[in-house]
Amino acid sequence: MKTNLLNQSSHPGTNYEHDNGLKVTFDFSYELKSGGKAAGKVIFNSKEIEYEVTNSGNPLFELLKGMAKLIFEPSHIWGEENVSWVDWYDEADCLRWVISTEDGANVAVKLIHYEDVFDESTGSLIVEGEMDMPDFYYAIIHKLDRFIKRLGLLNYEQKWQKDEFPLTYFLLLKKYLIEKGCWIPTNEKVGSLNDELDFLLA
């Protein structure tokens, strides 16, 4: 795992305006590699985190499930903590997402790197920040929308060599964004996924 400090004037990420008026830079990428591995980047304000994960876990499923939990199990309404912990595993280390909300409108995000997945004392906070929940969800779901349209569900499983793409949680979160009125359709050409839908309807 690699962490880079970014030049404030040349961020490659997307700028969002928090409801407190502050600008927040966030971006996310995820691509499958060969042999049941994936890699990508998370950009949050002045930090760029390059990560790799293996199929010893199910990173996309766990992330989308954790994001959905904050919406559909709104424990903050009853004065309880509403937080999701999501662990992404590489060969030896781990990237932990800690995502929480106190009001269902804003989300607090922490990314913690563990050098040893079996030793909590090796954890170090890489980045933390807050942004509007729809903006955070849009940044991730919009990228995954392009990703799965381009790759296709069958190709995903073949390249990942283990789990299926978490379609149910993906569609729930996309529906949430559409209903919030903040979804912008992607221009990604539908390749393998279009063929798969034809198979389904045949």
| pLDDT at residue 22, rounded to an integer | 67
Question: pLDDT tens across 64-100, in order?
Answer: 999 999 999 999 989 899 999 999 999 889 999 999 9
Q: Angle at the Cα of 62 (from 12 to 75), degrees rounded to 5? A: 100
For residue 125 the two structure tokens come to: 């906070």
Residues 130-149: tens digit of each pLDDT: 999 999 999 999 999 999 99
* In the chain, where the domains are located: 2-196
User: pLDDT tens, 158-174?
Assistant: 999 999 999 999 999 99
DSSP of 136-192, one letter per residue?
HHHHHHHHHHHHHHHH-HHHHHHHHTSPPP-HHHHHHHHHHHHHTT----------H
Bridge pairing between strands 47-54 and 83-89: unpaired
87 contacts 94 by C-beta, under 8 angstroms: yes
Dist. CA 111–CA 130, nearest whole Å: 12
Q: What is the pLDDT of residues 13-66, one digit of tens each?
A: 567 666 666 678 899 999 999 889 999 999 998 889 999 999 999 999 999 999
Q: pLDDT digits over 107-133, tens only? A: 999 999 999 888 888 999 999 999 999
Q: 3-state DSSP call for residue 4? A: strand
